[in-house]
Amino acid sequence: MNRCVIVGGADINNYEYIRNGLFEDDFIVFCDSGLKHLENLQVQPSLIVGDFDSHENPNLAVETIVLPCEKDDTDTVFAVKEAIKRGFDDFLLIGVIGARLDHTLGNVSILLYLDSLGKKGCIIDDYSKMEIVSDKPVSISDRYSFFSLLNINGCAKGITITGAKYPLIDGEITCEYQYGVSNEVLPGATASVSVSEGRLLLIKDR
């Protein structure tokens, strides 16, 4: 299956950067107010979902799922679940990090949800790329200025960081003490992060 791109309604300022991360064969789902990005992203939607409480239904010749306003899942979560039903294993979320912290944290938790299902997921915003580190090591090139490791799910143990200014061997990061903020990849190197128990949110800053 091709990659599924979920477009939310949070602000996007650097459309060129976001567009450079899209592929021609992406299956692109616009969620309600994410439709405000349609023109600037210069892509055609594959699917539109939403309760249309924050953006009017454009009534395009595109498959559209109209949701009730009162529901457990946000439009974005529904879109992810719908794409999973359709067989997608690789997800990119854009327009999901913004001024509303509640929506931002809820959208970041989608990465945990995807990881728990063995799916690949990442979030890109104007400044960074986010993904989950769990059962497989993750590499970080020196094209990123800084990277941070945050525990947002219990306790992470057996953390190893190599190729970075602040290396770590068999470390532990709890939700109460987030000391993995603002590390740096060594010049010309590729950093590697792994964890033997638990999961971490990796944020790579451009």
Shared domain for 140 and 65, answered yes or no, is no
pLDDT for the residue numbered 109:
96
Pair (87, 46) in one structural domain? yes
| Mean pLDDT split into 10-residue runs, the chain, 206 residues | 94 95 96 95 95 86 90 93 97 95 95 97 96 96 94 93 97 95 95 96 94
**pLDDT reported for residue 23:** 95
- The pLDDT assigned to 160 comes to 98
What domain range is 138 assigned to? 133-205
**Structure confidence by residue, pLDDT tens digits, 33-57:** 999 999 999 999 999 999 888 888 8
- My answer on whether 87 and 12 are in the same domain is yes
Backbone angles phi and psi of 26, in degrees to 5: -65, 140
Task: Specify the pLDDT at position 70.
Answer: 83
Q: What is the pLDDT of residue 117?
A: 97
pLDDT at 145: 84
152 and 121 in a common domain: no
Indicate the pTM of the whole model: 0.93
